[in-house]
A and B are shown apart, each in its own frame.
Chain A
């Protein structure tokens, strides 16, 4: 039985010599187009199942105890109003997967988790989005960054430890869930099933930085009423039936949102985040015909919130109220909007979580990176990940994974092979350090 340092050396060598195998594994995953059915234009069977079966076969061959089950929305009713719960969502043919590798005892347990669904390919690709092509040291394809690269790294890390003869004291659980890209119900269900650990790595793409927090994300649609009328003709006051230009009211809100963002820029910062929370307008649609004042305007916005801003349900309720109040305050300044108040439809509340940066698990992760001669960067994730539920049930969780998160959901999404390999190594060493291994008594 090798000593710990010797084992680490063997694991790193295994990973180097199995580079092609690791790349091939990711290519296999990319070639199964496990697009979240939320993006389907026609109904069809989800390919999430095919990825889960592929992973299950492999993890079973490594000695994992496999559970593969479909989430049942009715069983999750108690989470009404909380993150990831969508009443009545159908998970037929969309199983979650857990592979438990029991430790021999005395170590700390670790959960390695991620999602297997991807967003639709979209347009403007110069490569086959489901081909897994390798060019210039990069692997291209939908999901290379978000997050089949991370899935590959965590599974191959565990395989490297096992193949190198490591006997883990702490239990390692590999959790692979569906439906992250349309709400996170897969993760909610996974945690509901009772899977727990002393720490968790969610292998979302972080560019190999350690992300002990993410931000919550709100999507809202603001509907601003106007009153249509001939744009070339005299229009009386709105009180006597005159037209009201919804685009003019839109300009008012765009201005005021800039003002709000000035305020948020100061108030909504976090020492581990590179940017403050903002309310940013992503879509505007107004007007129907060049001769009419716009009858209404729809503004879709994306607002971020900090873990410290969560409400009693660990969600963005307080921030929603803050935004609603701001929109009302602006409406109060305008006689038409005062009597015809804009409406907000909340589309998404993607939750967040935060692990104390001083937790020993983070120390364990940073020391592994130093061992690999990577200067550790501890930085929060500006976007949402599924880390909320593990943290909610008390599992110290970080995001750590290969890939540039800005490439997620973009055309020509790609992952540098060197980063995939480094992530695999870092996770493997973390498994050894955190879970501990049986060593020969000297």
Chain B
């Protein structure tokens, strides 16, 4: 384990530079690097401006900087796999890798990738604070991205900076990788891994409320369209076989009931010891009907279904679970004469992949130990939502999620991160670097 002096020096530096660390986070929030997917009108993305800020800061500390724009055509071999979107344009949206190499060559330590995304979702409505000002009140720092995930990005940058400025050099390479486009599919992370960056371990600094998360769940978004047949709602309607109306809302109600039944089954079958809740298929949006005098012609049900790493298909995405849901939807349709002849359709909107690192891996234990060193419980818990950890794990990098902030606040108005969690995360990451990469005093 680390030598106590190095740990004390680095922690002291962090404590003495709390304002600077938080200042960096506020700088990151003040650059509104909203993913262009959320733009109402085409405009240049601010993701590049943010990458340049990080590059310039880390370059001053001696990092080798590589900044490049992903090229969708070069990624065509990933067709059908996580994060690949044909033809997506990354002009003005670069990925960034800042690598700190040991001056005297690798000397016994292990390399580490500190990984995160710098795009954020749009501000949205109902903010009581300026979403891009980084205002602090009662120890909470407010802003879009404070939780997801500029808090984590600030912590990982400043952990490296703390180490170096406190006078230590890692004995193995550290790469700070910041990618674009997580909030609209994860193509930035795919490209980063395709670019060849590897390490002996990886911390993805997504918000975990300071827990160690060696897995996340895969997320499927699907739109189920149920067909009905419109007709006057106040009038007698014959059997549908003779042209009578069919109420799509009644069919939607049938599926709502059946999804409850499916969820009871999934609640038994789709559990993971490190997850606080089972996978479910939840209806998030329901839209049907056009006019108060007509039976609804169709109903659209947008659902969110989660899957476990153990359920992934051969392409490491949710194909098996999609098939399972499709078969279930078809089996319900088979119980209804109209639906049997007019089958519902599923359009798959998102398949956000997942992955799992063995909780017994030494890197996980080391992270737990780092957390305990800063007075935390060192809790290991899977993340219920998706993160970009899939690609690092897919190429063999043991990866955990760890970061400041309550993930439930992500994407919400008045998103905030407690300042002290950012500081604690900075210390935990710095300590992990010391213990994993091994330090050398200058």
Q: Contact mask B229-261 → A, CB, 8 Å, 1/0?
A: 011111110000000000101001100110010
Identity of the chain B residue whose Cβ is nearest the Cβ of A286 in the assembled complex: B286
Q: Tell me which of B393-401, B407-415, B430-438 binds A.
A: B407-415
Q: Tell me which of B60-68, B132-140, B277-285 binds A.
A: B277-285
The 8 Å CB contact of A300, one of B236, B256, B289, is B289
Whether A215 and B289, one on each chain, are in contact in the complex, defined by CB atoms closer than 8 angstroms, is no
Whether A283 and B276, one on each chain, are in contact in the complex, defined by CB atoms closer than 8 angstroms, is no
A335 located at the interface, meaning its Cβ lies under 8 Å from any Cβ of chain B in the complex: no
Number of interface residues of B (CB under 8 A): 48
Whether B292 and A219, one on each chain, are in contact in the complex, defined by CB atoms closer than 8 angstroms, is yes
B265 located at the interface, meaning its Cβ lies under 8 Å from any Cβ of chain A in the complex: no
Bound together, the chains give a CA A229 to CA B306 distance in angstroms of 16
Whether A233 and B385, one on each chain, are in contact in the complex, defined by CB atoms closer than 8 angstroms, is yes
Identity of the chain B residue whose Cβ is nearest the Cβ of A250 in the assembled complex: B286
| CB within 8 Å for A233 and B407 given contacts A251-B257, A290-B221, A294-B286 | yes
Bound together, the chains give a CA A293 to CA B291 distance in angstroms of 25
B387, chain A: closest CB distance, angstroms: 11
| CB within 8 Å for A382 and B256 given contacts A234-B276, A250-B286, A294-B286 | no
Bound together, the chains give a CA A302 to CA B294 distance in angstroms of 9
A161 located at the interface, meaning its Cβ lies under 8 Å from any Cβ of chain B in the complex: no
Give the residues in chain A near B260, CB-CB below 8 Å: 251
Whether B287 and A282, one on each chain, are in contact in the complex, defined by CB atoms closer than 8 angstroms, is no
Give the residues in chain B near A255, CB-CB below 8 Å: 253, 257
Give the residues in chain A near B296, CB-CB below 8 Å: 281-284
The 8 Å CB contact of A283, one of B236, B277, B288, B385, is B288
Identity of the chain A residue whose Cβ is nearest the Cβ of B286 in the assembled complex: A286
Q: Is the interface of A mostly helix, strand, loop or mixed?
A: mixed
The 8 Å CB contact of A280, one of B247, B350, B407, B411, is B247
A217 located at the interface, meaning its Cβ lies under 8 Å from any Cβ of chain B in the complex: yes
Task: Name the interface size band of chain A.
Answer: 35 or more
A221, chain B: closest CB distance, angstroms: 9
Whether B302 and A290, one on each chain, are in contact in the complex, defined by CB atoms closer than 8 angstroms, is yes
Among A88-129, those with CB < 8 Å from B are none
Bound together, the chains give a CA A258 to CA B252 distance in angstroms of 13
Whether A247 and B283, one on each chain, are in contact in the complex, defined by CB atoms closer than 8 angstroms, is yes
Whether B384 and A254, one on each chain, are in contact in the complex, defined by CB atoms closer than 8 angstroms, is no
Whether A287 and B385, one on each chain, are in contact in the complex, defined by CB atoms closer than 8 angstroms, is no
The 8 Å CB contact of B284, one of A258, A294, A300, A384, is A294
Show 17 A/B contacts (Cβ-Cβ < 8 Å), sorted by A.
Answer: A229-B408, A232-B217, A247-B285, A250-B286, A275-B235, A275-B236, A282-B233, A282-B294, A283-B249, A283-B291, A284-B286, A284-B296, A290-B285, A290-B349, A294-B286, A382-B236, A409-B293
Partner-B contacts on A (CB < 8 A)? 215, 217, 219, 229-234, 245, 247-248, 250-251, 254-255, 258, 274-275, 280-294, 297, 300-302, 304, 347-348, 382-384, 405-406, 408-410
